[in-house]
Amino acid sequence: GALLFYVIGIALAVLAVVVIFAALFGRKILLICFGVILLAVIVVLALLFGKLRTMATVRQISDGLYYMDCVYDYDGDKYLDANISTVDGLIRWIGDTQLYGVHPNLITGNFACAAFTAACDNGDRLFGRNFDYPRTDTLVFHTKPKNGYESYSVTDLSFMDIGEECSFSGDSLTAKACMLMAPYIPMDGINEKSVGVSILELTETELHQDNGKPDLMVVSAIRGILDSCASIDEAVDLLAAYIFTRFWAVPIICSSRTAPADRLWLSGRAMRR
Protein backbone atom coordinates (compact mmCIF):
# COMPACT_ATOMS: atom_id res chain seq x y z
CA GLY A 1 0.00 0.00 0.00
CA ALA A 2 2.74 2.49 0.93
CA LEU A 3 4.62 1.69 -2.28
CA LEU A 4 1.48 2.36 -4.35
CA PHE A 5 0.99 5.76 -2.71
CA TYR A 6 4.64 6.55 -3.39
CA VAL A 7 4.26 5.77 -7.11
CA ILE A 8 1.01 7.76 -7.30
CA GLY A 9 2.77 10.71 -5.67
CA ILE A 10 5.53 10.65 -8.27
CA ALA A 11 2.95 10.47 -11.08
CA LEU A 12 1.06 13.47 -9.70
CA ALA A 13 4.29 15.45 -9.37
CA VAL A 14 5.19 14.70 -13.00
CA LEU A 15 1.68 15.73 -14.10
CA ALA A 16 2.00 19.01 -12.21
CA VAL A 17 5.31 19.77 -13.95
CA VAL A 18 3.76 19.06 -17.36
CA VAL A 19 0.81 21.38 -16.66
CA ILE A 20 3.12 24.19 -15.54
CA PHE A 21 5.27 23.88 -18.67
CA ALA A 22 2.15 23.87 -20.85
CA ALA A 23 0.90 27.08 -19.27
CA LEU A 24 4.27 28.82 -19.59
CA PHE A 25 5.63 27.67 -22.95
CA GLY A 26 2.82 26.29 -25.08
CA ARG A 27 2.02 22.96 -26.72
CA LYS A 28 5.31 22.32 -28.59
CA ILE A 29 7.47 22.74 -25.53
CA LEU A 30 4.90 20.73 -23.63
CA LEU A 31 5.28 17.77 -25.98
CA ILE A 32 9.08 17.91 -25.80
CA CYS A 33 9.05 18.08 -22.01
CA PHE A 34 6.49 15.32 -21.78
CA GLY A 35 8.60 13.10 -24.01
CA VAL A 36 11.75 13.74 -21.97
CA ILE A 37 9.95 13.14 -18.69
CA LEU A 38 8.28 9.99 -20.02
CA LEU A 39 11.61 8.62 -21.23
CA ALA A 40 13.22 9.38 -17.87
CA VAL A 41 10.39 7.66 -16.01
CA ILE A 42 10.66 4.58 -18.24
CA VAL A 43 14.43 4.36 -17.68
CA VAL A 44 14.07 4.75 -13.91
CA LEU A 45 11.29 2.17 -13.71
CA ALA A 46 13.33 -0.27 -15.83
CA LEU A 47 16.29 0.11 -13.48
CA LEU A 48 14.20 -0.20 -10.33
CA PHE A 49 11.56 -2.67 -11.52
CA GLY A 50 12.99 -5.75 -9.82
CA LYS A 51 13.70 -3.90 -6.59
CA LEU A 52 10.24 -2.29 -6.52
CA ARG A 53 8.64 -5.70 -7.11
CA THR A 54 10.73 -7.12 -4.28
CA MET A 55 9.67 -4.34 -1.91
CA ALA A 56 6.04 -4.98 -2.84
CA THR A 57 6.34 -8.61 -1.67
CA VAL A 58 7.24 -7.69 1.92
CA ARG A 59 4.53 -8.75 4.35
CA GLN A 60 4.26 -9.22 8.09
CA ILE A 61 3.73 -12.84 9.12
CA SER A 62 3.40 -12.25 12.85
CA ASP A 63 4.65 -9.88 15.51
CA GLY A 64 8.27 -9.07 14.63
CA LEU A 65 8.42 -11.56 11.73
CA TYR A 66 8.41 -10.52 8.06
CA TYR A 67 8.68 -12.30 4.71
CA MET A 68 10.15 -11.08 1.41
CA ASP A 69 10.41 -12.68 -2.03
CA CYS A 70 13.65 -11.43 -3.60
CA VAL A 71 12.85 -11.17 -7.32
CA TYR A 72 15.64 -8.79 -8.36
CA ASP A 73 19.08 -9.94 -9.51
CA TYR A 74 21.30 -9.43 -6.47
CA ASP A 75 24.49 -10.44 -8.35
CA GLY A 76 25.44 -13.25 -6.00
CA ASP A 77 28.46 -14.33 -8.06
CA LYS A 78 29.85 -10.79 -8.12
CA TYR A 79 29.24 -10.47 -4.38
CA LEU A 80 31.15 -13.66 -3.67
CA ASP A 81 34.14 -12.44 -5.69
CA ALA A 82 34.06 -8.80 -4.53
CA ASN A 83 37.08 -9.32 -2.22
CA ILE A 84 35.29 -7.69 0.74
CA SER A 85 37.13 -7.84 4.06
CA THR A 86 35.45 -5.20 6.27
CA VAL A 87 31.96 -4.05 7.21
CA ASP A 88 32.72 -0.67 5.63
CA GLY A 89 33.76 -2.45 2.45
CA LEU A 90 30.50 -4.40 2.48
CA ILE A 91 28.51 -1.18 2.84
CA ARG A 92 30.41 0.47 -0.01
CA TRP A 93 29.90 -2.52 -2.29
CA ILE A 94 26.15 -2.69 -1.64
CA GLY A 95 25.76 1.06 -2.15
CA ASP A 96 27.92 1.32 -5.26
CA THR A 97 26.61 -1.74 -7.09
CA GLN A 98 23.02 -2.15 -5.90
CA LEU A 99 21.70 1.11 -4.42
CA TYR A 100 22.95 3.64 -6.99
CA GLY A 101 25.50 5.28 -4.72
CA VAL A 102 23.37 5.35 -1.58
CA HIS A 103 25.44 3.78 1.19
CA PRO A 104 23.29 2.18 3.91
CA ASN A 105 24.03 1.86 7.59
CA LEU A 106 24.67 -1.55 9.09
CA ILE A 107 24.49 -1.84 12.86
CA THR A 108 26.54 -4.65 14.38
CA GLY A 109 26.77 -5.75 17.99
CA ASN A 110 27.26 -8.72 20.27
CA PHE A 111 25.49 -11.93 19.33
CA ALA A 112 25.03 -15.38 20.83
CA CYS A 113 23.53 -17.84 18.38
CA ALA A 114 22.83 -21.56 18.56
CA ALA A 115 21.91 -24.19 15.97
CA PHE A 116 21.17 -27.91 15.86
CA THR A 117 20.50 -30.72 13.43
CA ALA A 118 18.66 -33.97 14.12
CA ALA A 119 17.78 -37.10 12.16
CA CYS A 120 14.11 -38.03 11.67
CA ASP A 121 12.65 -41.54 11.70
CA ASN A 122 11.81 -41.25 7.99
CA GLY A 123 15.42 -40.48 7.06
CA ASP A 124 15.01 -36.74 6.71
CA ARG A 125 17.03 -34.32 8.78
CA LEU A 126 15.87 -31.27 10.72
CA PHE A 127 17.95 -28.12 10.89
CA GLY A 128 17.15 -25.36 13.35
CA ARG A 129 18.65 -22.26 14.88
CA ASN A 130 18.00 -19.59 17.49
CA PHE A 131 19.37 -16.05 17.57
CA ASP A 132 19.87 -16.22 21.38
CA TYR A 133 19.93 -12.49 22.01
CA PRO A 134 17.44 -9.79 23.03
CA ARG A 135 14.23 -9.49 21.05
CA THR A 136 14.73 -8.52 17.44
CA ASP A 137 12.58 -8.32 14.33
CA THR A 138 13.40 -11.01 11.77
CA LEU A 139 13.10 -11.30 8.00
CA VAL A 140 12.66 -14.61 6.18
CA PHE A 141 13.41 -14.15 2.50
CA HIS A 142 13.29 -16.31 -0.61
CA THR A 143 15.87 -16.18 -3.41
CA LYS A 144 16.02 -17.97 -6.75
CA PRO A 145 19.14 -16.84 -8.66
CA LYS A 146 19.35 -17.52 -12.40
CA ASN A 147 22.56 -19.52 -12.09
CA GLY A 148 22.19 -20.90 -8.58
CA TYR A 149 20.06 -22.86 -6.16
CA GLU A 150 16.77 -21.65 -4.76
CA SER A 151 16.89 -21.00 -1.02
CA TYR A 152 15.21 -19.51 2.03
CA SER A 153 17.29 -17.42 4.42
CA VAL A 154 16.86 -15.49 7.65
CA THR A 155 18.41 -12.19 8.70
CA ASP A 156 18.22 -9.94 11.73
CA LEU A 157 16.45 -6.69 10.85
CA SER A 158 18.17 -4.78 13.65
CA PHE A 159 21.26 -4.77 11.40
CA MET A 160 19.25 -2.37 9.21
CA ASP A 161 17.86 -0.38 12.16
CA ILE A 162 14.43 -1.96 11.67
CA GLY A 163 12.30 -3.09 14.58
CA GLU A 164 10.33 -2.13 17.65
CA GLU A 165 13.33 -0.53 19.38
CA CYS A 166 14.95 0.79 16.18
CA SER A 167 14.48 3.81 13.92
CA PHE A 168 12.14 2.21 11.35
CA SER A 169 9.04 0.04 11.73
CA GLY A 170 8.98 -3.06 9.56
CA ASP A 171 5.97 -1.96 7.51
CA SER A 172 7.42 1.45 6.55
CA LEU A 173 8.57 2.25 3.02
CA THR A 174 12.08 3.00 4.31
CA ALA A 175 12.25 -0.39 6.02
CA LYS A 176 11.17 -2.18 2.86
CA ALA A 177 13.89 -0.38 0.90
CA CYS A 178 16.46 -1.36 3.54
CA MET A 179 15.35 -4.99 3.29
CA LEU A 180 16.81 -5.05 -0.22
CA MET A 181 20.15 -5.56 1.58
CA ALA A 182 18.96 -8.88 3.03
CA PRO A 183 20.57 -11.18 0.40
CA TYR A 184 23.99 -9.82 1.41
CA ILE A 185 23.68 -10.38 5.17
CA PRO A 186 22.02 -13.79 5.69
CA MET A 187 22.47 -15.32 9.13
CA ASP A 188 21.42 -18.77 7.99
CA GLY A 189 19.35 -20.60 5.42
CA ILE A 190 18.62 -23.79 3.53
CA ASN A 191 18.69 -24.37 -0.22
CA GLU A 192 16.86 -26.66 -2.64
CA LYS A 193 19.62 -29.28 -2.27
CA SER A 194 18.82 -29.49 1.46
CA VAL A 195 22.11 -27.85 2.44
CA GLY A 196 21.51 -25.85 5.61
CA VAL A 197 24.05 -23.41 6.99
CA SER A 198 24.11 -21.08 9.97
CA ILE A 199 26.45 -18.53 11.56
CA LEU A 200 27.10 -19.00 15.27
CA GLU A 201 28.98 -16.93 17.83
CA LEU A 202 31.97 -17.56 20.04
CA THR A 203 34.00 -15.04 21.99
CA GLU A 204 37.22 -14.97 19.98
CA THR A 205 39.60 -12.37 18.63
CA GLU A 206 39.29 -11.01 15.10
CA LEU A 207 40.71 -13.22 12.39
CA HIS A 208 42.86 -11.85 9.56
CA GLN A 209 44.16 -14.63 7.33
CA ASP A 210 46.85 -13.99 4.75
CA ASN A 211 47.31 -16.85 2.30
CA GLY A 212 47.17 -15.09 -1.06
CA LYS A 213 43.52 -15.93 -1.72
CA PRO A 214 40.58 -13.51 -2.22
CA ASP A 215 38.94 -12.08 0.91
CA LEU A 216 35.55 -13.32 2.07
CA MET A 217 33.36 -12.25 4.98
CA VAL A 218 31.29 -14.85 6.78
CA VAL A 219 27.96 -13.42 5.54
CA SER A 220 29.31 -13.64 1.99
CA ALA A 221 30.18 -17.28 2.67
CA ILE A 222 26.61 -18.05 3.71
CA ARG A 223 25.33 -16.48 0.49
CA GLY A 224 27.81 -18.47 -1.59
CA ILE A 225 27.02 -21.79 0.09
CA LEU A 226 23.27 -21.37 -0.35
CA ASP A 227 23.56 -20.28 -3.98
CA SER A 228 26.13 -22.76 -5.23
CA CYS A 229 26.67 -25.77 -2.95
CA ALA A 230 24.80 -29.08 -3.18
CA SER A 231 26.67 -30.83 -0.35
CA ILE A 232 28.80 -30.20 2.71
CA ASP A 233 31.91 -31.19 0.76
CA GLU A 234 31.15 -28.53 -1.84
CA ALA A 235 30.68 -25.98 0.95
CA VAL A 236 34.07 -26.89 2.42
CA ASP A 237 35.71 -26.60 -1.01
CA LEU A 238 34.13 -23.18 -1.53
CA LEU A 239 35.33 -21.86 1.83
CA ALA A 240 38.83 -23.23 1.26
CA ALA A 241 39.20 -21.02 -1.82
CA TYR A 242 39.07 -17.77 0.17
CA ILE A 243 40.74 -15.82 2.95
CA PHE A 244 38.44 -15.32 5.92
CA THR A 245 38.24 -12.03 7.74
CA ARG A 246 36.26 -12.56 10.90
CA PHE A 247 34.46 -9.55 12.32
CA TRP A 248 31.13 -11.33 12.82
CA ALA A 249 30.11 -14.62 14.31
CA VAL A 250 31.86 -17.95 13.88
CA PRO A 251 31.86 -20.90 13.56
CA ILE A 252 29.61 -21.95 10.69
CA ILE A 253 27.50 -25.07 11.11
CA CYS A 254 26.54 -26.85 7.90
CA SER A 255 24.20 -29.81 7.40
CA SER A 256 22.49 -31.69 4.58
CA ARG A 257 19.73 -34.27 4.22
CA THR A 258 22.19 -37.14 3.83
CA ALA A 259 24.97 -36.06 6.19
CA PRO A 260 25.22 -35.01 9.83
CA ALA A 261 26.28 -31.50 10.72
CA ASP A 262 29.81 -30.28 10.22
CA ARG A 263 31.20 -27.42 12.29
CA LEU A 264 33.46 -25.34 10.10
CA TRP A 265 35.74 -23.51 12.49
CA LEU A 266 37.40 -20.47 10.95
CA SER A 267 40.23 -20.21 13.42
CA GLY A 268 43.88 -19.28 13.19
CA ARG A 269 45.26 -19.78 9.67
CA ALA A 270 43.28 -22.86 8.72
CA MET A 271 39.70 -23.97 8.41
CA ARG A 272 39.02 -27.03 10.56
CA ARG A 273 36.09 -29.46 10.35
pLDDT digits (tens, 9 = 90+) for 67-119: 999 999 999 999 999 988 888 899 999 989 888 777 887 776 656 677 777 88
More confident residue, 106 or 198: 198
CB 74 within 8 A of CB 184: yes
Phi, psi of 171 (to 5 degrees): -95, 5
| Cβ atoms within 10 Å, residue 72 | 17
Task: Report helix, strand or coil for 219.
Answer: helix
pTM: 0.78
Q: Cα–Cα distance between 210 and 245 in angstroms, integer? A: 9
How many separate domains does the chain show?
Answer: 2
More confident residue, 108 or 53: 53
What is the pLDDT, as a whole number, of residue 191? 94
**34 and 84 inside one domain:** no
**143 and 22 inside one domain:** no
The DSSP string of 139-161 is EEEEE--TTS--EEEEEEGGGGT
**49 and 174 inside one domain:** no
> Given a cut of 60, is residue 267 above it in pLDDT?
no
**88 and 135 inside one domain:** yes
| Cβ atoms within 10 Å, residue 105 | 11
**129 and 246 inside one domain:** yes
Residue pLDDT, tens place only, 18-49:
677 666 666 676 677 667 777 777 776 767 78
Residue pLDDT, tens place only, 107-153:
766 566 777 778 888 877 788 888 776 778 999 999 999 999 999 99
Residue 28 domain boundaries:
2-56
What is the pLDDT, as a whole number, of residue 1? 46
**115 and 224 inside one domain:** yes
